[in-house]
């Protein structure tokens, strides 16, 4: 096993894409990043990353915070971010010319977060398309991707929130079942190790995606898909589609078997919310 960062980007394409290295908090300093910006408190690490981009910060760079006062979730929701209770993380990259299907970075990020958590001992994680990580059928991590075009360059901010040790009062105000690492693992771990592990895995996976597209990730996603073979309802701008999840295709899109035939739900144009349907529930 390699013990330096530069040779540790060992990507196994045979079984699963995993980054083979000992993860420790020093790694954060050894990552191939232009800058790591840390804040005790910030409105949102994604907002801070977008501000830094506009000020001309060179990519790739990482923004971390111990607390967010206005953490942002998908579809305009708030992401509860009390001090020291979660990983609040935004990795910013320039998207290379010619990189197709940027929407697939959403499931690729979820897979990367999953692998990094597993390396630290958090097991039995599942995924909910397009990019939620679940532990014990409850939300452990959420991902918010935002893009910014400056002149001819396209940048992407990959925002990741992982619940580490949420206060009970916070869990109560979140409108869905949530869990945290403390609950799943029975102990805390160093947030910097998690940030380093996610970054290493993300950079390796994005590089593989740039070369080979999403097809290499399909099996891994489907293995971890919490809803594979189950009936769900997908909300798309104003309408609702019901069907059985058939996994993802080679573009990272959701395949649904509906009464009116097979449908593909694309990322980017739509903001779906996938919800399991109880067997006695009728379609509203
Ligand atoms: C979701 O709704 O599931 C996405 C949540 C994303 C939260 C993270 S926390 C770090 C980054 N900064 C933000 O304001 N949001 C993302």
Ligand 1 centroid from CA 266, angstroms: 21
- pTM for this predicted structure: 0.87
Question: Which among 41, 78, 72, 21 has a CA at the least distance from the CA of 200?
Answer: 21
| Per-residue pLDDT in tens (0 to 9) along the chain, 284 residues | 222 222 222 322 322 344 444 455 577 888 899 999 999 999 999 999 999 999 999 999 999 999 999 999 988 889 999 999 999 999 999 998 777 788 899 999 999 999 999 999 999 999 999 889 999 999 999 999 999 999 989 999 999 999 999 999 999 888 888 999 999 999 888 899 999 999 999 999 999 999 899 999 999 999 999 999 998 888 777 778 888 999 999 999 999 999 999 999 885 322 334 555 544 443 33
Ligand 1 centroid from CA 196, angstroms: 18
Ligand 1 centroid from CA 87, angstroms: 10
Residues 17 and 219: beta-carbon distance below 8 Å:
no
Mutate to test the pocket of ligand 1, among 161, 175, 176 (most ligand atoms within 8 A of CB): 161
3-state SS class at 204: helix
The CB density around residue 76, as the number of other CB atoms within 10 Å, is 7
Q: Which atom of ligand 1 is nearest to the CA of 86?
A: 9
Ligand 1 centroid from CA 73, angstroms: 5
Task: Give how far Cα 12 sits from Cα of 69, 87, 185, 198, 208, Å.
Answer: 39, 27, 26, 16, 10
The C-alpha atoms of residue 64 and residue 75 are separated, in whole angstroms, by 22
Residue with the smallest CA separation from ligand 1 atom 9 is 161
The C-alpha atoms of residue 130 and residue 109 are separated, in whole angstroms, by 10
């Amino acid at each position: 096993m390699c013990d330096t960062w530069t040779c540790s980007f060992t990507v196994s394409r045979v079984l699963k894409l995993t980054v083979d290295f000992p993860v420790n908090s020093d790694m954060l300093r050894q990552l191939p990043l232009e800058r790591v910006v840390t804040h005790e408190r910030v409105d949102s690490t994604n907002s801070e990353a977008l501000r830094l981009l506009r000020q001309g910060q060179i990519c790739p760079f990482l923004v971390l915070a111990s607390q967010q006062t206005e953490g942002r979730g998908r579809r305009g929701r708030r992401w509860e971010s009390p001090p020291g209770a979660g990983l609040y993380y935004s990795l910013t990259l320039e998207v290379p010319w010619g990189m197709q299907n940027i929407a697939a970075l959403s499931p690729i990020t979820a897979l990367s977060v999953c692998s990094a958590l597993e390396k630290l001992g958090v097991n039995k994680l599942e995924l909910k398309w397009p990019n939620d990580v679940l532990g014990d059928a409850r939300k452990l991590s959420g991902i918010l991707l935002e893009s910014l075009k400056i002149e001819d360059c396209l940048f992407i901010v990959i925002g990741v929130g992982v619940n580490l040790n949420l206060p009970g009062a916070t869990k109560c105000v979140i409108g869905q079942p949530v869990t945290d690492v403390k609950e799943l693992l029975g102990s805390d771990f160093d947030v910097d190790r998690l940030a380093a592990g996610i970054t290493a895995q993300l950079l390796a996976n994005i590089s593989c995606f740039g070369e080979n597209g999403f097809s290499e990730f399909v099996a891994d996603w489907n293995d971890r898909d919490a809803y594979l073979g189950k009936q769900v309802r997908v909300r798309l701008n104003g309408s609702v589609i019901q069907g059985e999840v058939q996994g993802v295709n080679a573009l990272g899109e959701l395949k649904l078997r509906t009464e009116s035939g097979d449908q593909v739900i694309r990322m980017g144009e739509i903001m779906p919310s996938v919800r399991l349907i109880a067997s006695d529930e009728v379609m509203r």
